Chain A
Amino acid sequence: MLNYILRRVLYAIPILLGVNLLTFALFFMVNTPDDMARIHLGAKHVTAEAITRWKSEHGYDKPLFLNAAADGVGKVADTLFVEKSLKLFVLDFGAADDGRDIAREIGQRMWPSLAIALPTFLVGLLAYLSFALLLVFFRGTALDTGGVILCVALMSISGLFYVIGGQYLMGKLWHWFPISGYQPGLDAWKFMVMPVLVSLIGGIGDSSRFYRALFIEEIGKDYVRTARAKGLSDLRVLFKHVLGNAMIPILTGVVVVIPRLFMGSLIIESFFGIPGLGSYTIDAIQAQDFAIVRSMVFLGSLLYIVGLVLTDISYTWADPRVRLE
C-alpha cells in the first residue's frame, strides 16, 4: 500500500510539471509580461518606461528560461520559469498583482469555502443516493416515471436560475435568510443554508438520474435474484447488496472531488458573496490577475491528483478483491 502511494506520488510529478508548463506557456509565452503590463496600466499610460517599471515592481523583468546575464546556477535559477512556476511545487505562491500574499489569502479563504462545500457535498450525496434508491424501490411505477421526468427537467435548467430563483424566493420574498454575505463564527449557519440548499437542488437531477441508472443495472444481476430467493426483504437487498455493489462507480465519481472542496464553487460563492476561494478566483479572473489564476490552477491539479489516490484507496475499502500493489 505504502509502496503504491509512493509510486503514485512520483507519477504525479510529471503531471504537475505538465500543468505547470502549460500554464506557463499560456501566461508567459503566448501572453508576454509586456502584454500583462499593458493591460494593467491601461491604454492611456503605456510608455516603454512604465512597462519596464511595472514589470520590475511585480518581478516579471527576468528572462523566460535562460538568464544569460547571471552566472553559475543563476543562469537557470534566476528566470521567470523557476521564479513563477517551479516555486509552486513547494507551495510558494508568491504575491498577487495587488501585492498581497496569495498563500495567506488561501489559508484564510479556504474556511468559508469549506463551510459551504462540505455540507453541500455530504448532504447532497445522502440526498441524491436516497432519492435514487427511492426511485429504484418504486421502479416501474408512476412514482419512478415521475421522478425521472423531474430529474430530466431539473437538469435542463441552468444553474444560474437556481441561484437567482433561490435568492429571490428565500431571500427577498420570504425573508428566510440574508440574500448574500458571510459571517464567521456561530452566526455563519444563517448564511450557509441558502447556498447549500440551492446547490443541492441544482445537482439533484443529474446525480440522482446517474445513481438510479447504476442501481437499475445492478438490480438486474443474478446475485440480486439469489438474495431475493433466499427470502431477504426488498429493502435489505437494496441497501445491503445493491448499494454495496454499486459502490465502486459511486466512489469513482465522488471521492475525487473531496480534496477540491477546499477550493469552493465559483458560481455559488460569487453569487452569495462568500469570501472563499471560489470568489477569490472569480475576482482574479475578472481583474485579470494571472498570478492568482496560475496558483489556483496548480492547487486544483494538485488536489485532483490527491483525489485520484484517495479514490484508489477507497476501492480497497469498498471491494476486498481490490489490492493496491
Chain B
Amino acid sequence: MIKPVLLWSDALILLLLLTVAALVWLARKNDTFRAPWRQVMASRMGAATALILAVYAGIGLLDSLHYVERLPSAPGQTVQYSGEVRSALDALLTPLRENVEKTYSAPFATHLYAKETVQGPDGRETRDFPRLKHGGAHLADPEKDFWGDVFERAGLGLLGGWVVWLLWRSWFGCRSGGARFGLPGGGCTVAGPPRRYTTLLIILLTFGVLLALAPHYHVLGTDKVGQDVLYLSLKSIRTGLLIGSLTTLIMLPFALALGIAAGYFGGRIDDAIQYLYTTLNSIPGVLLIAAAVLVVQVQIEAHAEMFNTAAARSDVRLLALCAILGVTGWTGLARLLRAEALKLRELEFVQAARAFGVTDARILLRHLLPNVMHLVLITVVIDFSGLVLAEAVLSYVGVGVDPGMISFGNMINGARLELAREPVVWWQLAAAFVFMFVLVLAANLFADQVRDALDPKSRGRV
C-alpha cells in the first residue's frame, strides 16, 4: 500500500502546469498567439529541441509524483508509513535504485574498480578485483560471455526502439491533429521528410538500449558509495528543471507588477521602483543569493521539527533557493517591461482607452499585459538555461540545494576530485556533463527559435 505525498514543490509544479494549460486554453483560438508557436514548431530545430525538452520534462514530472510506502504491520496496530519519500520515477527505476555496489565500478564493468581480498574456490586468499553484486552478475564467465550478451541485449533494445518508432510514425503521421500539438510531422506524411522523425528515433533508440541493458549492467558505472550513476543522472533532472521553472514562476509576478507599474504610472512610483531595482542590482548576485541562502539555512535548522522527512527538508531548501533566485532575479525583466510600458502608454489605443475613462487596472490588464507578453516569454525561455547552469555553480559554492539532494551540482561536486584519483574515475563527471549539456543546449536552441518567432526586431536576423 502506498500513500501519495504532495511536497511543496510538487504542488507548485502542479500550479505551474495548470497555469500553462489555462494560458494555452485561453489562447488556443487566438491566431496572434498561435502563429509564433506554429513557426517554432514548424522549424526543424524548434520541433527537435521541443521534443528533447519534453522528454526531460516527462522524466521530471514522473519524479514529482511522490508517495510513501506503508510499513508491514500486524493487524490492529496503527498504520505506519516509511519515512522515505519515493517518486514514480523511483518505482520505475527500482532495479537501478536497488542495485547498489560496494564502491566505484566502471561503465559496463563486471568487476569492482578497487582490489579486495577475495577467497578463491580452493580457499586461498588473493588480492583481486571482485565480481560486482549486480552489474553483469548473470554472466557465468564474464570474459567469454560479456560481448555477446551486451550485443544481444543492445540489439534487442535497438530493435524495440525502432519498432516503437515505426508504430509512432504510422500512427501519428496520419493524424491531421498531430501538428497542432507540436508532435513531429503532422499531416499524412509517413513518406514525407524523414528528418522530422530523426530526433524521435534517436531518443527511442537510446531508451530502448538503456531499457535492455540498465537492469543488468551499470551502464554509466557506479559512484563512490556504489550507487548507479544513470539513476543519479535521471534523478538530477527534476532538480534542474525545478530551479529553472519555479524560479520563473516566483519571479514573474514581481517583474510584471513592478515593471509595468513603473513604466505606466511614472513619477514617484517609477522613482521608487527604479531605486529598488538599482539597489538589488548593485549587490553582487552570488553574494546576495549566498547571504539569503545562509539566512534561510539557519532558519530551517532552527525549526527542524517542522519537517518530518529528509525529503521535506531538502524540498523546502530547494524552494527557498528558487524563491531567493526569483526575488533577486526579477530586475532584468522588470527593466525591459518598464521601457516597453513607457512606450506603450503613449500609443493611441492606450490613450483612447484612457479618454473613454477605462480604469487603470483594466488598461494594465487588457491593453498593456497582452502587449508585453512576448518579452516575458522570451525572457523566460532564455533565463531557463542560465538557471540550470546556476544551480550547479551555487551547489558547488555551498549555497545551492541541500547536499543530500541529488542534483547536477552535487554530482559534479562529488565527482570533482575523482579526476585526481589514480586510476581516474571519469564516468560520473561525464554523465553529469552529457545530461546537463543536452538539456541546456536544447533549451538554448529552443530559446533562440522562440525569440526569432516572437521578437519582431530579431526576425530575419541571422
Interface residues of A (CB under 8 A from B): 14-16, 18-19, 22-23, 26-27, 30-31, 35-36, 38-39, 139-140, 144, 152-153, 155-161, 164, 167-168, 172, 179, 213, 216-217, 260, 263, 266-267, 270, 281-282, 285-286, 288, 290, 293-294, 296-297, 300-301, 304-305
Contact = CB atoms under 8 A, between A and B. Distances in A.
B80 interface: no
Interface in B196-238: none
Nearest to B422: A172
B141 to A, nearest CB: 35
A155 B386 CA distance: 9
Given A15-B282, A304-B282, 19 more contacts: A18-B279, A19-B279, A27-B295, A30-B299, A156-B441, A157-B433, A161-B429, A172-B419, A266-B286, A266-B397, A285-B398, A290-B294, A293-B287, A293-B290, A293-B294, A297-B283, A300-B287, A301-B282, A304-B281
A153 B412 CA distance: 19
Interface in B252-295: 275-276, 278-279, 281-284, 286-288, 290-292, 294-295
Interface in B342-363: none
B100 interface: no
Interface string B421-436: 0000000010001001
B25 to A, nearest CB: 32
Contact of B393 (A158, A294, A301): A158
B283 A31 contact: no
Contacts of A23: 283, 291
Interface in B403-422: 408, 412, 416, 419-420
Contacts of B419: 164, 167-168, 172
A22 B283 contact: yes
14 contacts: A19-B283, A35-B302, A39-B298, A158-B392, A158-B393, A160-B416, A161-B429, A164-B429, A172-B420, A297-B283, A297-B287, A300-B283, A301-B282, A301-B284
A80 B276 CA distance: 24
Given A263-B284, A285-B398, A22 B279 contact: yes
Contact of A305 (B282, B286, B287, B416): B282
A285 B282 contact: no
A15 B279 contact: yes
B385 interface: yes
Contacts of A296: 284, 287
Contacts of B288: 297
Given A39-B298, A172-B419, A293-B290, A156 B279 contact: no
Contacts of B294: 31, 285, 288, 290, 293
A167 B420 CA distance: 9
B376 interface: no
A270 to B, nearest CB: 8
Interface residues of B, number: 44
Given A23-B291, A304-B284, A31 B299 contact: yes
B437 interface: yes
A30 B389 CA distance: 29
Nearest to B416: A164
Contacts of B420: 172, 179
B159 to A, nearest CB: 32
A158 B420 CA distance: 20
The 5 closest A-B pairs by CB, nearest first: A300-B284, A18-B279, A156-B441, A301-B282, A156-B440
B291 A293 contact: yes
B444 interface: yes
Given A35-B298, A152-B441, A156-B437, A267 B396 contact: yes
Contacts of A155: 444
Contacts of B295: 26-27, 30-31
Nearest to B438: A156
A158 B389 contact: yes
B284 A216 contact: no
A39 B294 CA distance: 11
Contacts of B436: 157-158
A31 B419 CA distance: 39
B399 interface: yes
Interface centre among B283, B288, B385 (most CB of A within 10 A): B283
A266 B289 CA distance: 13
A111 to B, nearest CB: 20
B56 to A, nearest CB: 14
A152 B446 CA distance: 11
Contacts of A39: 298, 301
B291 A297 contact: yes
Nearest to A260: B284
B284 A297 contact: yes
Interface in B437-457: 437, 440-441, 444-445, 448
Contacts of B292: 26
Contacts of A140: 462
Contacts of B298: 31, 35-36, 39, 288
B282 A152 contact: no
A156 B291 contact: no
B127 interface: no
A155 to B, nearest CB: 7
A15 B429 contact: no
A213 B452 CA distance: 13
A285 B284 contact: no
Contacts of B302: 35, 38
Contacts of A38: 302
Contacts of A159: 389, 393
A155 B448 CA distance: 13
Contacts of A297: 283-284, 287-288, 291
B291 A26 contact: yes
Contact of A282 (B397, B440, B448, B462): B397
A165 to B, nearest CB: 9
